[in-house]
Amino acid sequence: ARVPAAEAAFANAVMARCRELDDVHEGSPRVGMGHGGHVNVMLVPSALATVESLPGATTGKDLIVALAVGGDLIPRLRMAAGNAGRLGWEGPTLGPFGVAATVAKLRRFDRATTASAFGAAYAHCAGNILSTSDGTWDVWLNAGIAARSGMVAAELARRGHKGARAPLLGSSGLYPLYFR
C-alpha cells in the first residue's frame, strides 16, 4: 500500500532512528561538542519519499546534492546557537529546515518558494532532549516528526503558502526565541 510522502518519511525516519541506522554530527570543538545531532535519519527518508512522488526521474547527483544541502544546514543552524544550543533542543528541532531545504532542492523551488518553505518549517520546529534523558521511546519520534514537518512545510510552499519572512532572526524567530 502507498501512503502520502510525508507519512512515508515519518514512518521511515522513526524506523531508521529506532535501528540507529544514521550518522551523528558530533558538533564542533569551537562551540563545544554535542551541537550536531542525528542528521540524515530525517533527510534520507524525506528525500526518497520526495523522489518517489516526482513525475520524472531524478539523477543520483541531484539526490546527493539535495542531501548535502540539508545535511549541511541542520548542524550549522544548531552550532550557530553556540552554547544556547545546549538548552535542551536537539538536531530534530531544526530538522524541518534541513528537510525543507532538501525537498526544495529536489523540486527545484525558486528562492521565494524556498523561503516560504523555511517560514512554514519554523512553525513546525519541535523536539527536545527530554526523551533522551528519560530513556523513553519518544526519542525516536523526534526524527519522524522533523521529517514529516519539513515535508509538509515544503508541500505547503509548493502550493502557494506564504511562510514567515524572517524565521531565523525575526523578533520571534528561531535564534531570539529558542536560543535567546
Calculate mean pLDDT across residues 62-71.
97
pLDDT higher than threshold 70 for residue 27 = no
Output the CA–CA distances (angstroms, integers) from residue 72 to 44, 69, 96, 175, in the order listed.
Answer: 13, 5, 13, 18
Query: Average of pLDDT values for 81-108?
Result: 86
Read off the pLDDT of each residue in 118-141 and give the average, rounded to a whole number.
86
Give this prediction's pTM.
0.92
Which pLDDT value is given to residue 20?
A: 77
Does pLDDT of 35 surpass 70?
Answer: no
pLDDT in the model for residue 28: 63
Could you tell me if 172 and 164 are in contact, meaning their C-beta atoms sit under 8 angstroms apart?
no
Amino acid 10: pLDDT? 97
Residue 129: helix, strand or coil by DSSP? Answer: coil
Compute the average pLDDT of residues 30-53: 83
> What percent of the chain has a predicted confidence (pLDDT) above 90?
62
Question: Would you say residue 136 has pLDDT above 90?
Answer: no
Model confidence at 21: pLDDT above 80: no
Angle between the N-to-C axes of helices 138-158 and 111-123, in degrees from 0 to 180, rounded to the nearest 10: 140
Q: How far apart are CA 33 and CA 161, in angstroms?
A: 37
| Angle subtended at Cα 115 by Cα 87 and Cα 105, rounded to the nearest 5 degrees | 100
Q: What is the mean pLDDT of residues 24-34?
A: 63
Could you give the C-alpha distances from 158 to 61, 75, 121, 125, 153, in angstroms and in order? 22, 25, 13, 19, 9
Going by pLDDT thresholds of 50, 70 and 90, the confidence category of residue 80 is confident
| Average pLDDT for 99-118 | 98
Would you say 139 and 145 are in contact if contact means Cβ atoms under 8 Å apart?
no
Residue 167 · residue 149 · CB < 8 Å: no
User: Which pLDDT does position 19 carry in this prediction?
Assistant: 84
Per-residue pLDDT averaged across 86-90, rounded? 71
Which distant-in-sequence residues (6+ apart) come within 8 Å of 71 by Cβ? Answer: 39, 40, 43, 98, 102
